[in-house]
Amino acid sequence: MKKYAPYFALFASILYLPSGQLQAEENRVQFPDLDELVHYTTVRRGDVMEHIMTTPEAMEAVEEGRSIPYGTHFVLVDHRDGELYRYFVMEKGEGFGDDYDTSRRTDDWQFQWFWPDRSINTDENTARCQSCHRRQASSDYLFTGYRIPRFDGSPVE
């Protein structure tokens, strides 16, 4: 934590706008190469359709009950009325958790919201993502990881 403290303070001062509204931050999440990911499940809710994908290595780790390796991305490709609407991305990296204090931390996962052109949604505060996904701490912060063992080549519905 010490190592990042000055950087963190600077960030906080930039982000904390006069309006008092906490704005989105860039963080360490990079947009992944989607061609390397496996679409393992689809979630449908009304006009929403989510394609959820990750690496073969992460799927193997989940199946074998090992912890998910560093360098893993999970991507939720969110469609509305059949059109690409946004990408939600989680990335696990060594030391990623050090950027946050313990009340916010989600192990070494960071979260980001990308628009279809892959720019970051600067209106989103990713603390919100973390606070909801913390409920899933016992499942490596994943909501749909339990579906991975049921994947047999076509996305689990």
Site of interaction with ligand HEC (CB under 6 A) = 43, 50, 52, 74-76, 88-90, 111-113, 124, 126, 128-129, 132-133, 142-144
Dihedral over Cα of 25, 86, 37, 51: its sign: positive
CB 93 within 8 A of CB 28: yes
Q: Name which of 17 and 44 has its Cβ closer to ligand HEC.
A: 44
Q: How far is the CB of 152 from ligand HEC (least distance, A)?
A: 18
Q: Which is nearer to ligand HEC, 5 or 103 (CB)?
A: 103
What is the nearest approach in angstroms of ligand HEC to the Cβ of residue 32? 11
Spatial separation of the C-alpha atoms in residues 43 and 41, rounded to whole Å? 7
Using CA atoms, how far apart are residues 127 and 21, in angstroms rounded to an integer? 13
